[in-house]
C-alpha cells in the first residue's frame, strides 16, 4: 500500500479575488444591493482572472520511497507540498497520507528574536509537532550539531545569520515522522556545514521514511532520491527514473522561466 | 503493509470533519497550546520591565481616576460598595475581557508567518492569547485582596460565584477572539473597528455604574451583555455588593456561550481559507 496517494489534485487561485479580499465597504454595498432586490453583479470569475497552480495530479509514493519533485519556479511544487502539509486545501481532488507527517518547508518557523536558542528550539519543535520530552531528549545533540556552544542560552537576535540557520536547520533534522515533506532546506551556512547538513539529511531520508523532496540542487536530488516527478505549469510532466527526470527538468529550464500568463496553462 | 494500515491516515480534500474529530485534534495539540501561551508571556517579560504587572497597574490607576471623578465628584451610586472596590472590580474584569478579545482578535494575522508554513488547528492561536490574559488577570488578585483588607470587606457566599464569573468571562473573550481573528484575516478594517467597539462596549457594561441603575423592566435585555452578569457576580464576591438575580446571571452565561459556539463555527468555516488570504 502506498504511504501517500494523490488523486486528481488541483489548486485554483483567483487573481483578483473579489469575494474575500474586498474591503468591508464593497462587501456591504454588494449585500445592500442584494437586499434591495437589484440583480447581483455577474460572478467575476473570468477565465483570465483565475489560474490553476496545480491540476489533475495523480501520484503514488510507496512507503520508504524518496521522491524528488522537480520543476521551475512557479511550476506548482511548493503548492503541492503545502496541500499535503494541510496548509492550504486543494480546490479539487483528494490525497491520503498514512503515517505521522512532518512538513519541513522553512527553517526557523516561529523563531522569536527575543527568546534564547534553547527556548526557540522548544517552540519550533512544538510547532513542528514534537513533544516537550522529545525535544529535551535531543537538546544536547541539537546544540552539538548546530555548533552553537554557549550561545544556546542567548537571545537569537544576537546570533550571526549562520548560527541562526544552523540551529533552525538542526531542529528540522531531528523531526521524527514517517512521512517527511521537505522544501529546499539544505542550502544553509557555509560549505562545511552544507556538507554536514546534506549528510544529516541523507541519514534522515535513508532510514526507511517516506520523503517528498523539493530541490533545485540536482546533486542532492541524485544522491537522495529513488524516483522523481517533474511538474510544469501545474501538471505532472514526467515521472520515474531520476536521471531521465533531471534531463527533462534541465531541458525545461533551458527554455527560460515560465511566462506569467503561461503558468495558468490548464 | 499491516503497519501502514494501523496508522491513522490523514485525508485531504474530503468533507469537513465533525466536532468530535476537531476536539481530538485540539487535544492532540495541547503541548503546542502550552508553548504558545508560554511564548506570549515569555516574550512580554523579556520586552517589558514589569510584564504582567501592567495588567494590574492599568485598572488600578484607572480606578484611582474614576474614584476621584465619578465617585467623589459625580457621586455615582455604587450600591453601598466603597468606590475604589466598586471601580476596581469592574475595571479588573473589563480589562481581562477586553484584552483577551483585542489580543485574541489579532492572533491569526500576527502569526501569519507560522500559519503559512505549518499545519495545526488555528483556533489554538486566539485560545492561547485568551489563556495568557487569564494569567495577567490573576496577577491582579493580590491588589484586590489588599483593597478588601483596607476597606474591611469580608468575602461572603458570592465568592462561590466567582469561578463561574471567570469562566463566563473567558468564554466570552474566547468567543469574540474567534469571531474577530477570523474576520481580521479577510477584512483589515477590523483593526480600526475593534478599539472603537471596545470603547462602546465598556459604556454598555456596568463598569463605572452599577447594574441597578438600569430600570428593572430592562434588566433582562441589559443582561444579554454578558459583562453585566460577570461584573455583578464579581462585585458580589469581592466588593460586598448585593447578590445578583440568578436569572440575569443565567442570561449572561447563555449569551456568552452563544458567542463562543457561533464564533467557533464561523472560525472553522473560514479556517481553510486563511493561508490563501493571510
Identify the H or E element spanning B222: helix B219-222
Cell 544576537: give the residue. A158
Q: For position A227, which CATH number holds?
A: 3.40.50.300
The Cβ of residue B49 has, within 10 Å, a number of other Cβ atoms equal to: 7
Residue with cell 524516483: A227
Output the furthest CA–CA distance in chain B (Å, rounded). Answer: 80
Closest CA to B100 of B48, B137, B138, B63: B137
User: Taking CB atoms and an 8 Å cutoff, what residues of chain A touch B122?
Assistant: none
CA–CA dist B186, B176 (Å, integer): 16
Nearest to A236 by CA among A83, A56, A3: A56
Q: What angle do CA B83, B88, B91 make, to 5 degrees?
A: 125
Instruction: Quick: pLDDT tens for A141-150.
Output: 898 888 888 8
Query: Does A33 or B224 have the greater pLDDT score?
Result: B224
Q: Which residue in chain A is spatially nearest to B271 when comparing CA positions?
A: A88
CA atoms within 13 A on the CB side of B43: 17
When scoring B30, B34, B39, B196 by the number of chain A Cβ atoms within 10 A, the one with the most, hence best to mutate, is B39
**Host domain of residue A191:** 2-42+53-263
A112 at interface of B, judged by CB pairs closer than 8 A: yes
pLDDT for A170:
87
Please check whether residue A47 lies inside any domain of the structure: no
Asked if A114 is an interface residue toward chain B (Cβ–Cβ < 8 A), one would say: yes
Residue A226 lies in a domain: yes
Instruction: State the pairing for strand pair A235-240/A227-232.
Output: antiparallel
Would you call A184 an interface residue with chain B, using a CB distance cutoff of 8 Å? no
CA distance B226 to B217: 17
In a domain, A210, yes or no: yes
* A159: region left, alpha or beta (phi > 0 left; psi from -120 to 50 alpha): beta
When pLDDT is averaged across residues B165-189 and rounded to a whole number, the result is 95
CB contact under 8 A, A97 and B12: yes
Confidence of residue B2 (pLDDT cuts 50, 70, 90): very low
Q: Tell me if A17 is assigned to some domain.
A: yes
Residue A122, pLDDT score:
93
The predicted-structure confidence for A157-210, as pLDDT tens digits, reads as follows 999 888 888 888 888 888 878 899 998 776 566 778 888 888 888 888 888 899
Q: Which of A52, A84, A99, A178 to mutate to test the interface with B (most CBs of B within 10 A)?
A: A99
Chain B nearest-CA distance from A25, in A, is 9
CB atoms within 10 A of CB B93: 26
Burial of B176: CB neighbours in 10 Å, binned 0-12, 13-18, 19+ = buried
Sign of torsion over alpha carbons A201, B122, A8, A97:
positive
Interface test with B, best of A51, A117, A129 (most B CBs within 10 A): A129
Do the domain assignments include residue A149? yes
Strand pairing class (B9-12; A2-14): unpaired
- In this prediction, residue A25 carries a pLDDT of 67
Sheet holding A2-14, edge to edge: A50-62, A2-14, A92-98, B9-12
Residue B7 is predicted with a pLDDT of 55
Find the CB nearest B12 among A95, A131, A132.
A95
Contact B275 A90 (CB under 8 A): no
Considering only alpha carbons, which residue of chain B is nearest residue A97?
B10
pLDDT digits (tens, 9 = 90+) for A251-265: 999 887 766 555 544
Residues of B in contact with A94 (CB under 8 A): 11-14
What's the gap in Å between the CA of B276 and the closest CA on chain A?
Answer: 7
E strand or H helix that includes residue B26: helix B19-28
How much of chain B exceeds pLDDT 90, in percent? 56
Has residue A108 been placed in a domain?
A: yes
Closest CA to B176 of B250, B125, B105, B127: B105
- Pairwise CB contact (< 8 Å): B189 & A115: no
Return the top range by mean pLDDT from B54-58, B136-140, B195-199: B195-199
Separation in Å, CA of B208 to nearest CA in chain A: 33
- The number of folded domains in chain A is 1
CB A180 within 8 A of CB A211: yes
The predicted pLDDT at position A264 comes to 44
Res. B4: pLDDT tops 50: no
Residue A48 lies in a domain: no
Give the minimum alpha-carbon distance from B40 to chain A in angstroms, rounded to a whole number: 11
Q: What is the mean pLDDT of residues B95-102?
A: 93
**A154 part of contact set with chain B, CB < 8 Å:** no
Task: Please count the other Cβ atoms lying within 10 Å of the Cβ belonging to residue A141.
Answer: 12
Residues of A in contact with B11 (CB under 8 A): 94-96
Predicted model pTM: 0.87
Mean pLDDT confidence for B29-56: 87
pLDDT for the residue numbered A202? 84
SS3 per residue for B141-190: HHHHHHHHHHCCCCCCHHHHHHHHHHHHHHHHHHHHHHHHHHHHHHCCCH
Contacts of A97 in chain B (CB under 8 A): 9-10, 12
Block mean pLDDT (10 aa), chain A, length 266: 92 70 65 69 59 94 94 92 94 93 86 92 90 90 88 92 87 86 73 82 85 90 93 93 94 78 46
The count of other CB atoms within 10 Å of the CB of residue A28 is: 11
A53 DSSP 8-state letter:
E
pLDDT reported for residue A265: 41
Please state, in angstroms and rounded to a whole number, the distance separating the CA atoms of residues A163 and A169: 10
Residue B5 has pLDDT above 60, yes or no: no
Name the residue in chain A with its Cα closest to that of B116.
Answer: A87
Across the interface, of A84, A88, A96, the residue whose CB is closest to B275 is A88
Measured in degrees and rounded to the nearest 5, phi and psi for residue A171 equal: -60, -45
Task: Supply the mean pLDDT for chain A.
Answer: 85
pLDDT above 90 coverage of chain A, percent: 46
- Max distance between CA atoms of chain A, in angstroms, equals 70
Amino acid at each position: 500500500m502506498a504511504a501517500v496517494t494523490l488523486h486528481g489534485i488541483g489548486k485554483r487561485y483567483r487573481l483578483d479575488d473579489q469575494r474575500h479580499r474586498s474591503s468591508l465597504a464593497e462587501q456591504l454595498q454588494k449585500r445592500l444591493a442584494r437586499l434591495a432586490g437589484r440583480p447581483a453583479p455577474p460572478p467575476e470569475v473570468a477565465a483570465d482572472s483565475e489560474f490553476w497552480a496545480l491540476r489533475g495530479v495523480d501520484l503514488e509514493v510507496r512507503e520508504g520511497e524518496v521522491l524528488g519533485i522537480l520543476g521551475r519556479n512557479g511550476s506548482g511544487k511548493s503548492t503541492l507540498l503545502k496541500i499535503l502539509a494541510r496548509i492550504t486545501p486543494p480546490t479539487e481532488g483528494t490525497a491520503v497520507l498514512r503515517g505521522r507527517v512532518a512538513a519541513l518547508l522553512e527553517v526557523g518557523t516561529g523563531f522569536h528574536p527575543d527568546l534564547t536558542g534553547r527556548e526557540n528550539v522548544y517552540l519550533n519543535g512544538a510547532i513542528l509537532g514534537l513533544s516537550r520530552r522529545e525535544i529535551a531528549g535531543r537538546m544536547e545533540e541539537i546544540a552539538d550539531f548546530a555548533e552553537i556552544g554557549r550561545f544556546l542560552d542567548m537571545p537569537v537576535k544576537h546570533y550571526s545569520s549562520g548560527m541562526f540557520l544552523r540551529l533552525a536547520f538542526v531542529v528540522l533534522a531531528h523531526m521524527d515522522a514517517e512521512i517527511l515533506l521537505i522544501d529546499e532546506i539544505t542550502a544553509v551556512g557555509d560549505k562545511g556545514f552544507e556538507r554536514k547538513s546534506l549528510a544529516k539529511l541523507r541519514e534522515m531520508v535513508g532510514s526507511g521514511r517516506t520523503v517528498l523532496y523539493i530541490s533545485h540542487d540536482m546533486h542532492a536530488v541524485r544522491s537522495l532520491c529513488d524516483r522523481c516527478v517533474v511538474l510544469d505549469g501545474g501538471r505532472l510532466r514526467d515521472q520515474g527514473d531520476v536521471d531521465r527526470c533531471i534531463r527533462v527538468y534541465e531541458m525545461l529550464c533551458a527554455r527560460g522561466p515560465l511566462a506569467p500568463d503561461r503558468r495558468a496553462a490548464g | 503493509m499491516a503497519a501502514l494500515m494501523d496508522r491513522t491516515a490523514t485525508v485531504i480534500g474530503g468533507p469537513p470533519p465533525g466536532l468530535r474529530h476537531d476536539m481530538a485534534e485540539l487535544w492532540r495539540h495541547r503541548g503546542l497550546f502550552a508553548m504558545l501561551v508560554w511564548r506570549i508571556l515569555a516574550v512580554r517579560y523579556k520586552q517589558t520591565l514589569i510584564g504582567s504587572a501592567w495588567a494590574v497597574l492599568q485598572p488600578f490607576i484607572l480606578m484611582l481616576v474614576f474614584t476621584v471623578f465619578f465617585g467623589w465628584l459625580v457621586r455615582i451610586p455604587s450600591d453601598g460598595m466603597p468606590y475604589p472596590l466598586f471601580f476596581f472590580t469592574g475595571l479588573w474584569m473589563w480589562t481581562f475581557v477586553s484584552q483577551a478579545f483585542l489580543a485574541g482578535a489579532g492572533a491569526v494575522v500576527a502569526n501569519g508567518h507560522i500559519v503559512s508554513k505549518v499545519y495545526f488547528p488555528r483556533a489554538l492561536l486566539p485560545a492561547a492569547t485568551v489563556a495568557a490574559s487569564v494569567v495577567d488577570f490573576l496577577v491582579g488578585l493580590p491588589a484586590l485582596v489588599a483593597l478588601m483588607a483596607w476597606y474591611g470587606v469580608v468575602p461572603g457566599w458570592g465568592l462561590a460565584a466567582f469561578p463561574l464569573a471567570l469562566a463566563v468571562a473567558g468564554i466570552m473573550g474566547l468567543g469574540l477572539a474567534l469571531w474577530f481573528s477570523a474576520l481580521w484575516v479577510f477584512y483589515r478594517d477590523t483593526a480600526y473597528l475593534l478599539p472603537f467597539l471596545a470603547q462602546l462596549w465598556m459604556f454598555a457594561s456596568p463598569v463605572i455604574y452599577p447594574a441597578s441603575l438600569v430600570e428593572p423592566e430592562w434588566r433582562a435585555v441589559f443582561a444579554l451583555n454578558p459583562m453585566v452578569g460577570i461584573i455583578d457576580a464579581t462585585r458580589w464576591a469581592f466588593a460586598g455588593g448585593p447578590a445578583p438575580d440568578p436569572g440575569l446571571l443565567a442570561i449572561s452565561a447563555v449569551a456568552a456561550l452563544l458567542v463562543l459556539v457561533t464564533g467557533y463555527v464561523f472560525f472553522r468555516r473560514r479556517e481553510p481559507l486563511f493561508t490563501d488570504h493571510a
